[in-house]
């Protein structure tokens, strides 16, 4: 059985002149030659390239470690959630928030033995303002960590 092949000559690309074909073949050869040159260069220098990349990565890691090492401030408030009762917040955390909000300059520092308004939760997480007759009594307190963060800017050590 003979298979018949049909060729549509309209789909065959015409060659205008012989120079065009030569130009295309030369470009093809140059492209192949460039690929071979790149491959040879890569084979000759790949160890140096990988060593350089590795050195840069190690250098960046050391630089980041050195920069972070100088700025390691302990976050005493880490782990508290907005619902944490003020009675569970450490004095160190309160002192840190107090200092970060500029309250040390405005109102002085909080002593390590502090147990006043900012660390009290007389009615759970609810903020209970101190009236003039109730100051420094167990009946007023900031309530929660969220309230501490929201009201600390007042810088009033005895509450408000």
DSSP string, 3-71: PP----GGGSPP-S-HHHHHHHHHHHHHHHHHHHHHHHHHHHHHHHHHHHHHHHHHHHHHHHHHHHHHT
Q: Which pTM was predicted?
A: 0.53
Tell me the three state secondary structure of residue 146: helix
Per-residue pLDDT of 92-150, as tens digits, reads 999 999 999 988 878 888 999 998 889 999 888 999 888 755 455 557 899 999 999 99
Output the pLDDT for position 69: 66
Three-state helix/strand/coil letters over 87-115:
HHCCHHHHHHHHHHCCHHHHHCCCCCCCC
CA distance 68 to 46: 33
At 23-35, the pLDDT tens digits run 555 555 566 677 7
Delimit the domains of the chain by residue range. Answer: 14-70, 86-154
Q: Cα 110 vs. chain centroid, distance in angstroms?
A: 32
pLDDT tens by residue, 66-86: 776 665 678 999 999 999 999
CA–CA dist 87, 7 (Å, integer) = 91
Q: Which residues contact 139 (CB under 8 A, 6 or more apart)?
A: 122, 128, 130
For residue 134, the model assigns a pLDDT of: 47
Average pLDDT value for the chain: 80
What residues does 144 pair with on adjacent strands? Answer: 85
Ramachandran category for residue 99: left, alpha or beta (phi over 0 → left; psi -120 to 50 → alpha): alpha
């Amino acid at each position: 059985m003979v298979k018949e092949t049909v060729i549509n000559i309209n789909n065959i690309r015409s060659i205008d002149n012989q120079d065009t074909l030569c130009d295309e073949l030369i470009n093809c050869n140059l492209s192949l030659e460039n690929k071979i040159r790149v491959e040879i260069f890569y084979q000759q220098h790949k160890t140096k390239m990988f060593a350089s990349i590795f050195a840069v990565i190690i250098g960046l890691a050391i630089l980041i470690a050195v920069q972070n090492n100088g700025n390691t401030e302990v976050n005493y408030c880490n782990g508290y959630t907005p619902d944490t009762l003020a009675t569970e917040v450490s004095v160190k955390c309160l002192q840190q928030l107090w200092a970060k909000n500029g309250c040390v300059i405005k109102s002085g520092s909080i002593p390590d033995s502090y147990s006043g308004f900012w660390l009290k939760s007389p009615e759970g997480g609810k903020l209970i303002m101190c009236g003039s007759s109730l100051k420094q009594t167990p009946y007023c307190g900031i309530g929660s960590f969220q309230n501490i963060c929201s009201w600390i800017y007042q810088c009033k050590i005895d509450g408000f």
